[in-house]
């Protein structure tokens, strides 16, 4: 009899946040599939970059029509990742998707961003048993996550928020705020005045603002 008798399917346990055994129920094969697709994606020569969107759609669970992830990109399963329309991630994105990762529309990631849904028990005896667990990550529409930021298990980032570079996000961030630090904390709200500037006190011209209005409707 299999050793998971009485414990339920390990993939089902993984996806609902229960302790699970990552070496059972086809999980190693699913991780191997993701690694093969990531390897193929990361090693496409420039003359074949037109194939990248189709590869991402094979790898990820659900995507919008327009998305860009600069290589290298690495994930555990891929199938547990949903990204919306107009998603862009710069170099070296890592997503450990043992739990669902949901990313909204028009989201930007800087380079070296990492999303970790995966966790291990704190006590060494429990950790040595091999049990793992995962908690979902949710990132709302129009979020910008600065380079080298880390998003930890169970975090939700609200619509329109900006996460400063190098942040470690350990708890939920509300919508329409600028937040940064380790641990990440809210610095201030994002206001209509911010809409008129491209960087702090550097304003857009009227022509540039008109273009912004035309693009966002």
Q: How far is CA 95 from CA 31, 153, 215, in A?
A: 13, 11, 30
The DSSP output letter for 155 is -
CB of 139 within 8 A of CB of 102?
Answer: yes
The token duo for 106 is 């028009």
Q: What is the CA radius of gyration of the chain?
A: 19
CA max distance for the chain: 72
SS3 for 78-144 is: CCCEEECCCEEECCCEEEECCCCEEECCCCEECCCCEEECEECCCCHHHHHCCCEEECCEEECCCCE
Which listed residue (74, 106, 120, 123) is catalytic?
A: 120
Q: What is the bridge-based pairing of β-strands 156-157 and 137-139?
A: parallel
Active-site residue flag, 43: no
Please identify which residue in the block is written with the tokens 């450990």: 96
Contact 163, 179 (CB under 8 A): yes
Catalytic residues: 120
């Amino acid at each position: 009899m299999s050793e998971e008798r009485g414990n339920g399917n390990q993939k089902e346990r993984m996806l609902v946040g229960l302790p699970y055994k990552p070496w059972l129920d086809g999980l190693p094969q699913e991780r191997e599939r993701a690694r093969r697709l990531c390897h193929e994606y990361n090693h496409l020569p420039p003359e074949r970059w037109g194939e990248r969107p189709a590869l991402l759609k094979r790898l990820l669970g659900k995507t919008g029509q327009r998305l860009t992830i600069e290589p290298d990109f690495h994930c555990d399963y891929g199938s547990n990742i949903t990204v919306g329309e107009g998603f862009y991630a710069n170099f070296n994105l890592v997503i450990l998707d043992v739990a669902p990762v949901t990313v909204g529309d028009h989201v930007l990631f800087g380079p070296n961003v990492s999303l970790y849904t995966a966790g291990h028990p704190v006590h060494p005896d429990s950790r040595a048993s091999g049990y793992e667990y995962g908690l979902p990550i949710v990132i709302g529409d129009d979020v910008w996550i600065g380079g080298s930021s880390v998003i930890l298990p169970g975090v939700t980032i609200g619509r329109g928020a900006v996460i400063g570079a190098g942040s470690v996000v350990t708890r939920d961030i509300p919508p329409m705020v600028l937040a940064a630090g380790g641990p990440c904390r809210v610095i201030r709200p994002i206001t209509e005045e911010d809409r008129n500037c491209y960087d702090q006190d550097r304003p857009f011209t009227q022509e540039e603002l008109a273009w912004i209005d035309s693009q966002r409707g």
